[in-house]
């Protein structure tokens, strides 16, 4: 039998849930069962009361769905029979969370992370202060060096539009302990406002991997939404544990997708400056990888760059006249 204390506690929890926005935590995983073993428990112990965890099993072949059902029956599993890519996989989950579950916010997060127990609460606390906050992020630390930052957002850059990660490889000594707006960010984790989803849609699946978050941020900012950072939400990231930090796969998208975002939205002078810089990077990277006999790295990087240029010509963002005038 329940005692009076248990009854009161349950009543208080029900009251808190009504007062708190409903959050769906979306975790995308492809053959990442070994990574979920740490990620899922870290979210389950979060002190926020009105949330559920949904794992998108993105065509895995490692028994992810069965393992989750056995070990974490409280976690909802959405399975796709084939790998839809990063953007497609998350869009599948976003549709479920917002359209079927009527979530107020969705926390998009990777499977190669460990979350702080106050993470969801901290993100929501900042997000609800302004209905124009479309995305809310916190501190991302390097998993292998837990006091060293990977990112606290991104600034603006005259060549690549968004800058490299703010705070990257810095020891956290409180230098970023202020809640403030950011020009751009990374979606290693971010809390997505329902309103931004309703007004701008979700990820553009033409990107598949990399820069899909950048593209969504640009669309959201054009619609009047903001990006905010709070230092009180913390997560530790096993950097590129799924696709590899220096893989040829990653290089293709690194040299393709950022350039396409810039061609979609920026003026031709900015585009030309960016592409010249990207070509310089490509030539230097090719030289280094040829010396190391990493031929596939060279091939994939060039394929990504040329794919972006072809996209520009096909979509009338580039022409010989525009490039050389």
pLDDT confidence bin for 319, thresholds 50/70/90: confident
Q: Could you tell me the two tokens for 279? A: 């070509």
Give pairs for 158-161: CB < 8 Å, separation 24+.
158/273, 159/273, 159/274, 159/277, 160/258, 160/262, 160/274, 160/277, 161/214, 161/261, 161/262, 161/266, 161/270, 161/274
Average pLDDT, the chain: 92
Higher pLDDT, 5 or 264: 264
Which pLDDT does position 249 carry in this prediction?
A: 87
pLDDT beyond 60 at 302: yes
- What is the mean predicted confidence (pLDDT) over 230-254? 81
Which percentage of the chain shows pLDDT scores above 90? 86
Which percentage of the chain shows pLDDT scores above 70? 91
Q: Could you tell me the two tokens for 35? A: 């990574």
- What is the mean predicted confidence (pLDDT) over 41-64? 96
Q: Which helix (H) or strand (E) holds 289?
A: helix 268-291
**Structural domains of the chain, ranges and CATH numbers in brackets:** 4-237 (3.90.550.60), 248-324 (no CATH)
Residue with the two structure tokens 């950048």: 214
* Alpha-carbon distance values, 321 to 135, 246, 269, 272, 273 (Å): 39, 36, 12, 12, 15
- What is the mean predicted confidence (pLDDT) over 192-209? 94
Which pLDDT does position 5 carry in this prediction?
A: 45
pLDDT confidence bin for 67, thresholds 50/70/90: very high
Which pLDDT does position 324 carry in this prediction?
A: 65
pLDDT beyond 60 at 107: yes
pLDDT beyond 80 at 299: yes
CA gap 184, 47 in Å, rounded: 28
- What is the mean predicted confidence (pLDDT) over 128-133? 97
Residues shown for the chain: 325
Least confident of 84-98, 177-191, 197-211, 231-245: 231-245
Which pLDDT does position 246 carry in this prediction?
A: 66
* Alpha-carbon distance values, 62 to 14, 31, 42, 93 (Å): 37, 5, 21, 20
Q: Which residues contact 174 (CB under 8 A, 6 or more apart)?
A: none
Q: Which residues contact 22 (CB under 8 A, 6 or more apart)?
A: 50, 51, 101, 102, 103, 104, 105
CA gap 150, 152 in Å, rounded: 7
Predicted structure pTM score: 0.89
pLDDT beyond 70 at 11: no
pLDDT beyond 50 at 254: yes
Higher pLDDT, 31 or 246: 31
């Amino acid at each position: 039998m329940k005692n009076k204390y248990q009854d009161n506690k349950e009543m208080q929890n029900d009251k808190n849930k009504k007062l708190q926005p409903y959050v769906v935590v979306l975790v995308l995983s492809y053959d990442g069962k070994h990574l979920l073993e740490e990620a899922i428990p870290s979210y389950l112990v979060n002190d926020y009361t009105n949330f559920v965890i949904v794992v998108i099993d993105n065509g895995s072949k490692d028994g992810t769905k069965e393992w989750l059902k056995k070990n974490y029956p409280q976690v909802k599993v959405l399975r796709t029979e084939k790998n839809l890519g990063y953007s497609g996989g998350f869009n599948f989950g976003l549709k479920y969370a917002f359209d079927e579950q009527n979530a107020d916010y969705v926390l998009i997060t990777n499977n190669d992370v460990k979350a702080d127990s106050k993470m969801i609460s901290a993100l929501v606390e900042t997000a609800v202060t302004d209905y124009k906050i479309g995305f809310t992020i916190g501190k991302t630390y390097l998993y292998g060096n837990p006091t060293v930052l990977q990112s606290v957002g991104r600034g603006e850059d005259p060549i690549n539009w968004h800058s490299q990660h703010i705070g990257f490889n810095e020891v956290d000594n409180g230098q970023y302990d202020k809640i403030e707006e950011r020009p751009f960010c990374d979606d290693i984790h971010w809390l997505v406002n329902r309103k931004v989803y309703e007004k701008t849609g979700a990820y553009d699946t033409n990107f598949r991997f990399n820069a899909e978050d950048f593209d969504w941020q640009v669309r959201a900012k054009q619609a009047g939404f903001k990006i905010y950072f709070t230092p009180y939400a913390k997560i530790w990231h096993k950097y590129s544990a799924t696709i590899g930090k220096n893989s040829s796969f990653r290089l293709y998208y690194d040299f393709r997708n950022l350039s396409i975002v810039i061609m979609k939205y920026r003026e031709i002078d900015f585009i030309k400056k960016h592409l010249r810089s990207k070509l310089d990077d490509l030539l230097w990277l090719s030289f280094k990888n040829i010396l190391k006999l990493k031929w596939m790295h060279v091939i994939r990087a060039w394929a990504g760059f040329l794919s972006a240029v072809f996209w520009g010509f096909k979509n009338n963002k580039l022409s010989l006249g525009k490039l050389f005038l």
